[in-house]
């Protein structure tokens, strides 16, 4: 073979070796499945042929995580996820992602436990919102994500004003996630309710809507909103692949 002839291998288009992504998943596995699918589809689209993403997946038992959430034992949850992140690093991961918005509440514990980069889903989302020129966004997610400061404050620190639904609507948005979406149940009436909540946020001057729970993308899309939506799962996948470059 002529040494000066360009290789047909699409991987040769990359300047650096492709890194391995360590994925903390299973929270829930329905959304982790979507994360994994999107990552592999993106790589196939970019590189062609039979290429797929280099991923080490650690799928936790969501029942254990949900119990810690319900008890408010975020310290134990942080310790657990940090331990699993270290395991991914030992297994050869070059960077870590956490495939759940809610559990980014303990992201600082994970980052402190590892010596490799951590791709934060809220930073990924903020970058996309700001790039679109939007400065005021509605946030949908679990009650933890909508009500606790860890997510909103990270967005606000980057110049994004965050709106959330009323307490009554937050409760139902949360219930649909935990009672339906994490079980793979997609109901038209739940989609209609989310549309109603989105319309209200838009009427309150939200210029965009952050789908701040990885399961929400299983239920609603851009077609369900009068303003742009920011699908955090999809954005997170893109950021992780860029970091793995």
Catalytic residues: 100, 213
Q: How many Å apart are CA 52 and CA 18, to the nearest integer?
A: 11
Task: Tell me if residue 56 falls in helix, strand or coil.
Answer: strand
Q: H helices then E strands: how many in the chain?
A: 10, 8
The answer to whether 20 and 52 have CB atoms below 8 angstroms apart is no
Residues whose CB falls within 8 Å of the CB of residue 233, separated by 6 or more in sequence, listed in order: 31, 34, 35, 38, 99, 211, 214, 217
Distances (CA, A) of 106 to 29, 109, 202: 19, 5, 30
Nearest 5 degrees, angle CA 187-CA 237-CA 58? 85
Give Cβ neighbours of residue 37 (< 8 Å, ≥ 6 apart).
none
Pairing of strands 95-98, 118-119: parallel
Maximum Cα–Cα distance for the chain, whole Å?
69
């Amino acid at each position: 073979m002529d040494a000066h002839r360009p290789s047909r291998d699409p991987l040769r288009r990359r300047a650096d070796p492709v890194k391995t992504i360590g994925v903390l998943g299973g929270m829930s596995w329905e959304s982790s499945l979507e994360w994994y699918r999107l990552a592999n589809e993106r790589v196939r689209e970019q590189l062609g042929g039979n290429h797929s993403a280099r991923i080490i997946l650690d799928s936790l038992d969501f029942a254990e995580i949900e119990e810690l959430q319900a008890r408010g034992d975020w310290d134990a949850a942080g310790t657990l996820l940090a331990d699993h992140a270290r395991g991914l690093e030992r297994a050869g991961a070059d960077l870590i992602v956490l495939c759940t918005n809610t559990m980014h509440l303990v992201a600082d514990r994970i980052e402190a436990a590892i010596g490799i980069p951590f791709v934060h889903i809220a930073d990924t989302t903020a970058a996309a919102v700001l790039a679109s020129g939007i400065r005021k966004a509605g946030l949908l997610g679990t009650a933890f994500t909508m009500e606790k400061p860890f997510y909103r404050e990270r967005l606000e620190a980057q110049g994004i004003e965050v709106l959330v639904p009323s307490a009554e609507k937050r409760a139902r948005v949360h219930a649909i996630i935990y009672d339906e979406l994490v079980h793979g149940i997609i109901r038209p009436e739940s989609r209609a309710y989310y549309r109603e909540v989105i319309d209200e946020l838009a009427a309150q001057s939200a210029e965009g809507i952050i789908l701040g729970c990885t399961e929400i993308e299983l239920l609603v899309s851009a077609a369900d909103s009068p303003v742009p939506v920011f699908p955090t799962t999809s954005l997170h996948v893109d950021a992780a692949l860029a970091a793995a470059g």
